[in-house]
Amino acid sequence: MLRRFDVHRVTSVAEAVALRRRYGEDAAVYAGGTEILLAMKLGLARWGHLIDVKTILSLGEVSVNTDTLRIGATITHWTLERHPVVARILPALARLEANVANVRVRAAGTLAGNLAFAEPHADPPALLVALGARVLLQGSAGSRSLPVAELITGMYQTAIGPDEVIVAVDVPLPSADTRAAYVKFQILERPSVGVAAVASVREGRFVGAPAVVVGAVDEVARRVPTEALAGADPADPRTHEAVAEAARAAVDPVADLAGSADYKRHLVGVFARRALSSLAAQAF
């Protein structure tokens, strides 16, 4: 049973922006509802107005241009997990999406909604940060593009302005020698630890440093400093150990039902090593 609210079905982003201006804090953008309806049922949030953006047709598209995969804001995990273009260009993202929560959440929930809610125990942020993905926002002052790393500022907190709406998630197209991996440990509905690794590999060496990002253990996804590993051999166990150690040092795990801070820090090392092994396995 939910307290009374009104749902506004809008047909343009401008209309959604206007409603956000009009209702302010009393309105939330609504697509899959898998996070906000739950929050309302648990009494953690209350809005008098939900702005349903699923009726904005332009937000329901996946497209590829010269350098970007654009994922419209109302695209569900279900669609991404099955999308032939995503599977071909970014198989690591397709696999991640196929393992978000459960099949019902994937059928309704959207990638953009997942980012906007900024639940720390989430799969997509780590990989999207590692891939250098950005979010396209539109507000009354116009549109802007923000890296996912800057969009999520804390637990359930984002840099989305009070009258802004997510239009799309933009993922840069990986080059031919780019490898990406996302591995996670999960005992409940949400990941306990997730580690993403993205790197270009040429002639058995990293081109520059690999991007390694740890998700779900901390308040936000944490980038692991890997500058020292520029040009390293991705298959060398010493590379994996160096990344694992840097990853353990980079996080400040929050203890919860999924485990203590120490336990999670240990898992971060294990899964950082596995993410690197996965990259190495793809590269040869």
Partner 1 sequence: MGAREIVLRLNGVERPVQVEDQALLIELVRGLGLVGTKQSCDAQVCGTCTVLLDGRPVSSCTTLAIEADGRRVETIEGVADGPALHPLQEAFIERFAFQCGYCTPGMIVSAKALLEERPEPDRDEVRRWMDGNICRCTGYETIVEAVLDAAERMRSTP
231 burial via Cβ count (<10 Å: 0-12, 13-18, 19+): exposed
Distance in Å, CB of 10 to partner 1, minimum: 12
Among 103, 141, 228, 281, binds partner 1 (CB under 8 A): 103
> Given the rule CB under 8 A, which of 20-28, 33-41, 171-179, 204-212 is the region that contacts partner 1?
33-41
Residue 104 contacts partner 1 per CB under 8 A: yes
Q: How far apart are CA 81 and CA 89, in angstroms?
A: 12
Bridge partners of 166, per DSSP, are: 137
For residue 48, the minimal CB distance to partner 1 (Å) is: 10
User: The tokens of 172 are what?
Assistant: 């840069």
What phi and psi values does residue 157 have, to the nearest 5 degrees?
Answer: -125, 135
Report if residue 257 touches partner 1, rule: CB under 8 A: no
Helix axes 237-250, 261-283, angle to 10 degrees: 140
> How far is residue 197's CA from residue 53's CA, in Å, rounded to a whole number?
32
Q: Does 108 bind partner 1 (CB under 8 A)?
A: yes
- Residue 183, interface with partner 1 (CB under 8 A)? no
Binding region for partner 1 (CB under 8 A) out of 16-24, 100-108, 162-170, 224-232: 100-108
Task: Note whether 212 and 130 are within 8 A (CB).
Answer: yes
Q: Is residue 34 close enough to count as binding partner 1 by CB under 8 A? A: yes
- Residues at the contact surface with partner 1, assessed by CB under 8 A: 1-8, 33-34, 37-38, 41-42, 50, 78, 101-105, 107-108, 189
